[in-house]
Chain A
Amino acid sequence: MKDISAIRADFPILSRYVHNKPLVYFDNGATTQKPKCVLDTLYEVYTSYNSNIHRGVHFLSDKASEEYENAREKIRAFINAENKEEIIFTSGTTGSINAIAYSFGERYIKNGDEIIISHLEHHANIVPWQMLCERKGAKLRVIPVDDNGEIIFEEYLKLLSSRTRLVAVTQVSNALGVIVPVKKIIEEAHSVKIPVLVDGAQGIQHGITDVREMNCDFYVFSGHKIYGPTGIGVLYGKIEILSELPPYQGGGDMVKSVTFEKTTYADLPFRFEAGTVNFPGAIGLGKAIDYLLSIGMENISRRESELLKYAEKRLLSIGDLKIYGNSQKKISINSFLLKNIHMYDTGMILDKLGIAVRTGTHCAQPVMDRFGIDGTVRASMCFYNTVEEIDILGAGIEKVIEMFS
């Protein structure tokens, strides 16, 4: 694997200072930093071939369309989807889930039907389903979690019924870092012919993703959480399901022919890409994937689990620190609270020390309610972080305790 200082040099922002201290960026769960090659790609799009895709007959438009479709192919290969037509560009995970909630919901959800989610979901995988349930008179059922933040599988099995129309679960809890056994969940759902959507927003960046092996029906993720640009996301759907779904937005580029009497829709994937898509974002995301492949996803997983192990040991050496989500199966997230110290106070002081963490409910209020807390401090690490940075965090937390006790 590439040497850590060389990796860090690929990310221009990592060398900056915050409050006169070297930046320690532990908010990767919220968004990841971008390697220079992604930034260069965006610059290149806008300076050498910016032009609307799929429209013009001219050189620039051809070039932009080609690069955009190349990005789609890169993403297909990266998640091992079978067809390019199964990769739809959206604005992000939230956009992807809303698209399915609308499109799949309009076609298949009726009064009295049920949709299953888990107690670990991010608001983005709760609210669109709640809105759908309200529209259709359907019901949301929730898989509970245990004290370690792991879903209770037997309870999931009990929730699956003849009324279930869809299961929508996260691959990894954004608030706790706990990995959800999505493959097992999918097997059970498929045994009773129920499709499953997997929210990969916190999963895809941490290891190898194989949607065919996982056998999910939909897989969604955001570009900005996988070192790509903000404002681009992906919706993968199995072709046999996507072909049955109605479009969820109307506009240009998603149609074959339009008259005032009748419009016929374009084929997949364009049917789901109305209007001008964020093509520079898509091309930038393709570049981010090239970059990750050059590092190696196995290497990234290995390095991140080493960091997690080191961080857990360091943090737990601090008395009065409690980690939430004590599962053995986790990605590199430490969600914690200090005894009798408010998360906001902790976050404010860490910020002054140049350490970026997230505080609050992490857009997953139900998980926080499950543990009876208002929120946590979340330090989310990734492969460009170092053990030295974890030591800085450890010392920072000790400083916080000293100040507030």
Chain B
Amino acid sequence: MTVNEVQDAIIDEFSVFDDWMDKYNLLIDMGRELPVIEAKFKIKDYLIEGCQSKVWLYPEFDGERITFTADSDAIITKGIVSLLIRVLSERRPEEIISADLYFIDKIDLRQNLSPTRANGLLAMVKQIKLYAIAYQAKQNM
């Protein structure tokens, strides 16, 4: 599936619910499917700054694709990271860099997170893209 196909699938899954409580329950369930980071990588080097809850994100590059694993101490945040990983993990750096993440707005994630929390979400996206830029540079060396 392409980046946009996964995004559209997520938008579909959320569109079933009108009530925000149900959307949160879905987010909580999605958090449970998060590919969890190995304990040894849950260190400061992989901690993302700018979130009210702690988020660790670990990239692994096989020369072609980047795979992300992550974790958070808050369950709703875990759900959000899980969505990002579903869209952006196991992809080539250029796919990640050029990804237009429209699903965030379409499922009302951004509006429902206050600016500081939204910053946390933006910090996660920024970190994922930064890893992709770094690996792309490495590839081109």
Contacts and interface: CB of A to CB of B under 8 A. Distances in A.
Q: Which 8 A-B pairs have the closest CB atoms?
A: A342-B74, A344-B74, A344-B53, A345-B74, A344-B52, A345-B75, A345-B76, A352-B20
A98 to B, nearest CB: 24
8 contacts: A342-B73, A344-B52, A345-B75, A348-B24, A349-B21, A352-B20, A359-B52, A403-B24
A19 interface: yes
A342 B52 CA distance: 10
A344 B74 CA distance: 7
A360 interface: yes
Interface string B97-132: 000000000000000000001000000000000000
A403 B28 CA distance: 9
Interface residues of A, number: 13
A175 to B, nearest CB: 16
Nearest to B113: A348
Interface string A222-239: 000000000000000000
Given A342-B73, A348-B24, A359-B52, 16 more contacts: A344-B52, A344-B53, A344-B76, A344-B77, A344-B117, A345-B75, A348-B117, A349-B21, A349-B24, A352-B21, A352-B24, A360-B52, A374-B73, A403-B24, A403-B28, A404-B28
A342 B53 contact: yes
Contacts of A19: 20
A363 to B, nearest CB: 13
A320 to B, nearest CB: 15
B15 interface: no
A404 B52 contact: no
Contacts of B24: 348-349, 352, 403
Chain B at the A interface: mostly helix, strand, loop or mixed? helix
Contacts of B54: 374
Interface of B: 20-21, 24-25, 28, 52-54, 73-77, 117
Contact of B75 (A342, A352, A359, A374): A342
A231 B77 CA distance: 34
Contacts of B117: 344, 348
Contacts of A360: 52
Nearest to B74: A342
A352 B21 CA distance: 7
B21 A348 contact: no
Contacts of B21: 349, 352
Most buried by A among B25, B28, B54, B76: B76
A19 to B, nearest CB: 7
A344 B117 CA distance: 9
Contacts of A404: 28, 75
A403 B20 contact: no
A46 to B, nearest CB: 28
Interface string A362-393: 00000000000010000000000000000000
Nearest to A341: B75
Nearest to A346: B74
B80 to A, nearest CB: 11
B44 to A, nearest CB: 15
A341 B76 CA distance: 11
A352 B28 CA distance: 15
Contacts of A374: 54, 73
Interface in A298-346: 341-342, 344-345
Contacts of A345: 74-76
A378 to B, nearest CB: 14
